[in-house]
A and B are shown apart, each in its own frame.
Chain A
Amino acid sequence: DTAVSQTPKYLVTQMGNDKSIKCEQNLGHDTMYWYKQDSKKFLKIMFSYNNKELIINETVPNRFSPKSPDKAHLNLHINSLELGDSAVYFCASSRDRGETQYFGPGTRLLVL
């Protein structure tokens, strides 16, 4: 009965590759988020969707593209991976914007 799940849990890849991370929530929430946590543990929001509509789009390289096929899913595609993209990426969801955010287990991305 996982609430917010992410796949894969670990991702090791070469520079220049394209990769995707998937997120699913079974809480019936309307809002989903992507966060990046760097090696210094700094957690920063990247994107947020509410009812499949993009509502937050922080200053991230356009190599990062989120996609929300439905309210329960929010995927993150990254083109032309760079060393600096190495981080833990967390998906989160909330019942609506302004409600408590529940985080997924994270995807640990290592770019070599």
Chain B
Amino acid sequence: QKEVEQNSGPLSVPEGAIASLNCTYSDRGSQSFFWYRQYSGKSPELIMSIYSNGDKEDGRFTAQLNKASQYVSLLIRDSQPSDSATYLCAVSDTGTASKLTFGTGTRLQVTL
């Protein structure tokens, strides 16, 4: 059974701080990794994808991947109240995103 684990939270950070979201996965054959953001009552939207070890930056977001440790993380710099949402980690065992296994998500609260 392939698993993707996330701390359900809530993770509470003050506005302007760095939010760090973590995810571990069980399948060593996993090759593609994604972070989705889901606001309450809304659908998931992709914010980052990462395929190789190291860091990938996009604006205030940085995804980090360590395949040896089977660990992927998302850093959000200068957190804003609008970042308050549930962040879903998703993993694919092929080089494509055709079959994603999702974690249960981490709820992030950015406080004023």
Contacts and interface: CB of A to CB of B under 8 A. Distances in A.
A69 interface: no
A100 B97 contact: yes
Interface in B64-112: 86, 88, 94-102, 104-105
Nearest to B94: A98
Nearest to B44: A103
B87 to A, nearest CB: 11
A68 to B, nearest CB: 15
A21 B60 CA distance: 37
Interface residues of A, number: 23
Interface of B: 38, 42-46, 49, 86, 88, 94-102, 104-105
Given A40-B104, A45-B99, A105-B42, 16 more contacts: A41-B86, A43-B102, A44-B102, A94-B97, A94-B98, A97-B98, A98-B95, A98-B96, A98-B98, A99-B96, A99-B97, A100-B49, A100-B97, A103-B44, A103-B45, A105-B43
Interface of A: 31, 40-45, 48, 50, 55-56, 90, 94, 97-106
